[in-house]
Amino acid sequence: MAWADTLGGLTNASAGVTLPHGLGMQIGGHCPHVTHGQSLAVFYPAFTRYTYPAAEHKFATVGRIFEPSLERESDAVAAERSCDAIDCFLKRIGLWINFRELNVTKEDIREIADCGQVLGDYANNPRVATIPEMYELLMSCYDRK
């Protein structure tokens, strides 16, 4: 497991990650009481809805993993449904949380968004977000129900 972890870390360091992980690092830096996993759980629903149109086939694969009945559907339908499947999964495992519950302030969110392009990871996302879009995405996670 240690070797697998090392290889994973080398891959992330060399190739970078996508928007949720890049912003997750920013969230952890600004709000050290929030774990990386919590930041991902909060942000993934917004990320999937923002990104899936730019990576339909990949999101369709995820949708079909969660819902095998989507094998009969087009990639467009399966990709869109993957967003709902991820939401349901997070609810089922007790990680349907928001930034307000994690004591992340709106001021923190502004700072996180403003720093969102410091690391190049955001550019690896299939749909590259601007700073205003990052702010909007993060704010949509502030007190979602």
| Residue 119, pLDDT score | 74
22: number of Cβ within 10 Å: 23
Domain membership of residue 116 (yes or no) is yes
Give the CATH number of the domain where residue 74 resides.
1.20.1090.10
Range of the domain at 23: 18-139
Domain membership of residue 130 (yes or no) is yes
Pick from 24-28, 29-33, 107-111: least confident: 24-28
| Residue 10, pLDDT score | 66
Domain membership of residue 145 (yes or no) is no
pLDDT bucket at 22, cuts 50 / 70 / 90: confident
| Span 113-145, pLDDT tens digits | 999 888 777 788 899 999 999 999 999 999 998
Domain membership of residue 2 (yes or no) is no
d(CA 64, CA 89): 13
| Residue 49, pLDDT score | 98
Domain membership of residue 35 (yes or no) is yes
* Cβ 80 vs Cβ 45: under 8 Å: no
Report the predicted TM-score, pTM, of the whole model to 2 decimal places.
0.87
Domain count, the chain: 1
| Residue 43, pLDDT score | 96
d(CA 108, CA 93): 26
Q: Phi/psi zone of residue 16: left (φ > 0), alpha (ψ -120 to 50 degrees), beta?
A: left
Domain membership of residue 11 (yes or no) is no
| Span 38-95, pLDDT tens digits | 999 999 999 999 999 999 999 999 999 999 999 999 999 999 999 999 999 999 999 9
Span 96-114, average pLDDT: 97
* Cβ 102 vs Cβ 94: under 8 Å: no
Domain membership of residue 43 (yes or no) is yes
Domain membership of residue 9 (yes or no) is no
